[in-house]
């Protein structure tokens, strides 16, 4: 598929514009404020009506731990905090040593308050102590939250993301849990814009810098001996503890009052009901007992983990080590199978056994596949990774990472084939033979998988870059094209193609370099970095000219034309489109000819030449239908309808726009539904039907709400002008 445009006012998905001033930034909504249920909803200031389309309320909180005790004092303090609402927002910071139960406390508290926050409950792991990939970037988390609210396209840049997040949450009764924070600076951009919300932060650090934000600080200490014994009793059975009370107290003491250590030790004892508790006490005692608490509790947890690890069968021990060095931090059975080098059934057995002994956390079903996902506590992951470093060879560790890279590359390529069948698939270089079937069978499932796995795809791409697998880097960036094209995560788009371009050049791969330049140039163009985009497209054109590749050269020239069109430079756009058209005609590339004709038709419309526009657009529509490019054919039809309006044939324009709207509704292209509804509004306004135009604009605004902040703001301004 040809590279498409972003949500700028003057250019559509292939550079065709619909008039009006260019919008150069992605600031949050401007004059529009989102109200009503989260999702495709908006309210317009200035007297306009509110149009809402319901969306599911966000419910992301972790499950409450089944055996939670010994924190009544802390829970009581935290519960009293909620009394401040709704007069003021609540920000609570729960800090304490690793493994002390900060997440469990926060989850139990928030679960008990779920009814108080009906407008959404959000969760994010900030990965403050992750051994793989480092702490989460605030922009990454904000994009995750906004997608949960139905915002399909998010702006680029932390400031704009934070502003949009505050706008979308203003006045809402929401709860947000930010787990494993590393600093106040990481947390602050994630604070919502509501006065009736609750934010809970967990961290090993006190995060005193959040005091200026009005934070309440709850330091969590280790459990006392009695509570530790009680937790152990609930885990392995009270009768067993009664039989060996001294051994139980010794195990509790050696676990240093850390719930994580108790749970890991108890899980091993629970699956060995005949083993004396004294045996576990002996195993733990080798690490120094209570003295281990002196280093934030980590050695105490390590003692319990070492004891559990020693009891694993060889296949489980191997799986544990390899999962600890996976490039992705949470995973399903498909990834586990790739990591372990086994089939899915065996991988399921391994992760189930590791979860049974509390070495893996079961996160519940994946929203796309419906299958369970798992993750390590960061200390457990570090423990497993340390064992891998000690016991796995360098080749083994690289092999583990490569199998995961290949799995994501294969699956993304399968999604690309479904979602962008006319986008020529370049070669793929796989180092492993494992070829699991993808977890989707249709376009909707493929797009949902790309959306849900976008951060893991980027983590895998970064891992491949770090290990010097250049072909995998640019091929992953290429395979993610439907994600970039349809959901527009511009920060990831540009990062992936910048890395991919460097990798293709290091590998001396001309085909990969050309694709990275044109696809990456599209991303740069869509965020308004026009000079850089022209540079990338020009480099691609020059390389193609050297290789005598007319199709690639035409593609690059077409990209330059699109960039000039988006920047409002119509004469330059016409010139480059003309050169691209000539090359595509000489190469016999009919679909490419049609796409360039579509863009030339748009230029004619912008220059007030609707008759000439109709000629280009009619030819484009016919060819695109012949080659079964239904999406671009619908775009051609929409612009052709506006050309009909330009010559005064308004009834035909309305019929064709209505037809185009139906085609976009069938394909699920929400952004283009909004564009066609806006075109219907413009057509009504040109006929002097102001009330009807307003109705179309409001419908357009509702569609834009989840995909384009720029268009929401622009439509809101247009409606405000109509009010005046």
Name residues whose C-beta falls within 8 Å of residue 175's C-beta, 6 or more positions apart in sequence: 61, 110, 113, 114, 116, 117, 120, 121, 122, 197, 198, 199, 200
pTM exceeding the 0.75 threshold for the entire prediction: no
- Helix (H) or strand (E) segment spanning residue 172: none
Nearest partner of 516 among 459, 563, 559, 548, judged by Cα = 559
Domain with CATH 3.40.50.300 in the chain: 72-219
**Backbone phi and psi for residue 453, each to the nearest 5 degrees, phi listed first:** -105, 10
pLDDT computed for residue 294 by the predictor: 31
End-to-end CA distance of the chain: 43
CB-based contact 186:208 (threshold 8 Å):
no
pLDDT computed for residue 526 by the predictor: 86
Among left, alpha and beta (phi > 0; psi -120 to 50; other), residue 312 is beta
> Checking DSSP bridges between strand 361-365 and strand 372-375, what pairing results, if any?
antiparallel
pLDDT computed for residue 32 by the predictor: 26
CA atoms within 13 A on the CB side of 3: 30
- The domain 72-219 belongs to what CATH superfamily? P-loop containing nucleotide triphosphate hydrolases (3.40.50.300)
Beta-bridge mates of residue 91: 199
| 4 burial level (CB within 10 Å; 0-12, 13-18, 19+) | buried
210 token code pair: 């959040």
pLDDT computed for residue 30 by the predictor: 25
- Helix (H) or strand (E) segment spanning residue 179: strand 175-181
Report angle CA 411, 15, 510 to the nearest 5 degrees. 50
Domain with CATH 1.10.10.10 in the chain: 314-392
| 313 burial level (CB within 10 Å; 0-12, 13-18, 19+) | exposed
Run means of pLDDT, 10 residues per run, the chain, 724 residues: 36 34 25 30 30 60 74 85 78 85 89 88 88 82 90 81 92 93 93 92 88 90 86 88 90 81 80 83 59 42 76 93 94 95 95 84 80 84 91 96 97 94 89 89 92 95 97 98 87 96 97 96 92 97 93 95 95 97 95 96 96 97 93 95 96 97 85 93 95 94 78 82 42
CB-based contact 498:490 (threshold 8 Å):
no
213-233 per-residue burial string, b: 16 or more CB within 10 A, e: under 16: eebbebebebbeeebbbbbbb
* Residue written as token pair 């995560």: 489
Fold for domain 314-392? Arc Repressor Mutant, subunit A (1.10.10)
Sheet strands side by side (includes 330-331): 330-331, 372-375, 361-365
Nearest partner of 379 among 268, 537, 264, judged by Cα = 264
Name residues whose C-beta falls within 8 Å of residue 135's C-beta, 6 or more positions apart in sequence: 126, 127, 128, 182, 186
């Amino acid at each position: 598929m040809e590279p498409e445009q972003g949500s700028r006012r003057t250019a559509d998905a292939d550079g065709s514009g619909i008039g009006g001033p260019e919008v150069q930034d992605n600031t949050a909504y401007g004059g529009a404020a989102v109200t009503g249920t989260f999702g495709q909803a908006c309210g317009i200031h200035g007297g306009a009506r509110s149009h809402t389309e319901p969306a599911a309320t966000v419910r992301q909180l972790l499950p409450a731990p089944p055996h939670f005790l010994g924190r009544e004092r802390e829970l009581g303090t935290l519960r009293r905090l909620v009394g401040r609402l709704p007069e003021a927002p609540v920000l609570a910071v729960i800090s304490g040593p690793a493994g002390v139960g900060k997440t469990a406390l926060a989850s139990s508290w928030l679960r008990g308050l779920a009814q108080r926050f009906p407008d959404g409950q959000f969760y994010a792991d900030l990965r403050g102590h992750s051994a793989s990939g480092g702490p989460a970037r605030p922009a990454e988390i904000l994009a995750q939250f906004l997608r949960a609210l139905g915002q399909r396209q998010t702006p680029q840049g932390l400031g704009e993301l934070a502003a949009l997040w505050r706008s979308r949450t203003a006045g809402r009764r929401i709860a947000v849990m930010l787990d494993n924070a590393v600093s106040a600076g990481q947390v602050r951009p994630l604070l919502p814009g509501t006065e009736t919300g609750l934010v809970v932060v967990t961290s090993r650090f006190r995060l005193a810098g959040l005091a200026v934000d009005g934070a309440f600080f709850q330091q969590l200490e280790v459990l006392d001996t009695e509570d530790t014994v009680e937790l152990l009793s609930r885990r392995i059975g009270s009768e067993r503890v009664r039989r060996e009370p001294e051994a139980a107290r010794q195990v509790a003491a050696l676990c240093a009052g850390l719930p994580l250590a108790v749970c890991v030790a108890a899980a091993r004892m629970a699956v060995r009901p005949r083993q004396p508790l004294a045996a576990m006490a002996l195993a733990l005692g080798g690490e120094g007992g209570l003295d281990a608490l002196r280093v934030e509790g980590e050695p105490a947890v390590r003692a319990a983990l070492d004891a559990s690890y020693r009891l694993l069968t060889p296949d489980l021990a191997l799986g544990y080590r390899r999962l600890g060095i996976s490039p992705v931090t949470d995973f399903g059975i498909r990834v586990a199978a790739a990591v372990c080098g086994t089939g899915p059934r065996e991988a399921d057995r391994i992760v189930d056994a590791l979860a049974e002994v509390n070495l893996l956390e079961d996160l519940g079903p994946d929203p796309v596949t419906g299958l369970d996902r798992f993750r390590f506590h960061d200390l457990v992951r570090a423990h497993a990774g340390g064992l891998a470093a000690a016991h796995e060879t360098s080749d083994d560790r690289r092999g583990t990472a490569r199998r995961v890279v290949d799995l994501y590359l294969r699956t993304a390529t399968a999604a690309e084939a479904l979602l962008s069948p006319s986008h020529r698939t370049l070669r793929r270089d796989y180092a492993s033979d494992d070829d699991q079937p993808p977890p989707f069978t249709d376009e909707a499932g493929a797009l949902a998988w790309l959306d849900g796995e976008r951060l893991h795809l980027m983590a895998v791409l970064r891992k491949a870059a770090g290990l010097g697998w250049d072909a995998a880097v640019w091929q992953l960036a290429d395979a993610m094209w439907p994600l970039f094209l349809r959901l527009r995560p511009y920060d990831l788009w540009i990062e992936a193609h910048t890395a991919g371009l460097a990798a293709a050049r290091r590998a001396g791969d001309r085909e990969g370099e050309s694709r990275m330049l044109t696809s990456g140039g599209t991303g740069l163009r869509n965020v308004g970095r026009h000079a850089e985009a022209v540079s990338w497209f020009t480099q691609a054109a020059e390389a193609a000219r050297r290789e005598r590749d007319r199709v690639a050269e035409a593609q690059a020239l077409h990209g330059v034309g699109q960039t000039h069109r988006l920047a409002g430079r119509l004469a330059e756009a016409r010139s480059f489109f003309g050169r691209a058209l000539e090359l595509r005609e000489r190469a016999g590339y009919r679909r490419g000819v049609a796409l360039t004709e579509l863009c030339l038709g748009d230029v004619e419309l912008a220059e007030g030449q609707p008759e000439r526009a109709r000629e280009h657009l009619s030819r484009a529509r016919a060819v695109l239908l012949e080659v079964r490019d239904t999406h671009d054919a619908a775009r051609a039809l929409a612009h052709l309808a506006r050309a009909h309006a330009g010559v005064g044939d308004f009834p035909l324009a309305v019929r064709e726009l209505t037809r185009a709207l139906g085609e976009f509704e069938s394909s699920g292209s929400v952004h283009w539904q909004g564009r066609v509804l806006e075109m219907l509004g413009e057509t009504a306004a040109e006929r002097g039907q102001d009330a009807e135009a307003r109705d179309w604009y409001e419908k357009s605004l509702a569609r834009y709400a989840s995909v384009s902040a720029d268009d929401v703001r622009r439509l809101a301004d247009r409606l405000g002008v109509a009010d005046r």
